[in-house]
Amino acid sequence: MVFITLIMKKILVTLRGKWPEYILEILVVTIGILVALMLNDWNDSRKQKYREIEVLKAINSDLESALDELRGDLEAILQSENSGHIFKQFLMSGQTFQDSMLVHYNRLNDDRQTTPPTLGYQSMKSMGMDIISNDSLRLKITQIYEHTFPRIVEAGQSTEKFDIRKLLYPYYKKHFELSNEQSDRTGLSGSLVAYEYKIKEYDSLREDNEFIIDLQKSFEMRDRKIWLAKMGVGRTEALLMDIEEELAKLE
Torsion of CA 90, 96, 99, 105, to 10 degrees: 30
Task: Kindly indicate the confidence band of residue 25, based on its pLDDT and cuts at 50, 70 and 90.
Answer: low
57 exposed, middle or buried (CB, 10 Å; 0-12, 13-18, 19+)? middle
Average confidence (pLDDT) over 174-181: 80
Boundaries of domain holding 129: 2-250
Per-residue pLDDT, 29: 66
Binning pLDDT at 50, 70 and 90, where does residue 16 land?
low
Angle between helices 2-15 and 21-93 (to 10 degrees): 150
Closest-CA residue to 73 (of 188, 215, 244, 236): 236
Given a cut of 80, whether residue 44 has pLDDT beyond it is: no
pLDDT at site 135 = 93
Those residues with Cβ within 8 angstroms of residue 110's Cβ, 6 or more apart along the chain or in another chain:
76, 79, 80, 164, 165
Q: Record the pTM.
A: 0.77
Answer yes or no: are the C-beta atoms of 215 and 84 closer than 8 Å: yes
Q: Is residue 174 scored above 70 in pLDDT?
A: yes
| Residues whose CB is less than 8 angstroms from the CB of residue 183 and which lie 6 or more positions away in sequence, other chains included | 194, 195, 196
Q: How far apart are CA 235 and CA 182, in angstroms?
A: 42
pLDDT greater than 60 at residue 185: yes
Average pLDDT over every residue of 77-99: 86
Helix ranges (H only) for the chain are: 2-15, 21-93, 100-108, 119-127, 135-143, 149-154, 164-175, 202-206, 209-250
Q: What count of other Cβ atoms lies within 10 Å of the Cβ of residue 220?
A: 8
Q: Would the pLDDT of 237 be above 90?
A: yes
Specify the pLDDT at position 4.
55
Is the pLDDT at 19 greater than 60? The verdict is: no
* Structural domains in the chain (count): 1
Q: How far apart are the first and last CA of the chain?
A: 24
- 17-21, 77-81, 96-100, 204-208, range with the lowest pLDDT: 17-21
**Count of C-beta atoms within a 10 Å radius of residue 202:** 17
DSSP bridge partners of 247: none
Interval 232-237 mean pLDDT: 97
∠ CA(129), CA(155), CA(207), 5° rounding? 175
Share of the chain above pLDDT 70, in %: 77
Q: How confident is the model at residue 113 (pLDDT cuts 50, 70, 90)?
A: very high
In this prediction, residue 69 carries a pLDDT of: 96
Average pLDDT over residues 178-203: 70
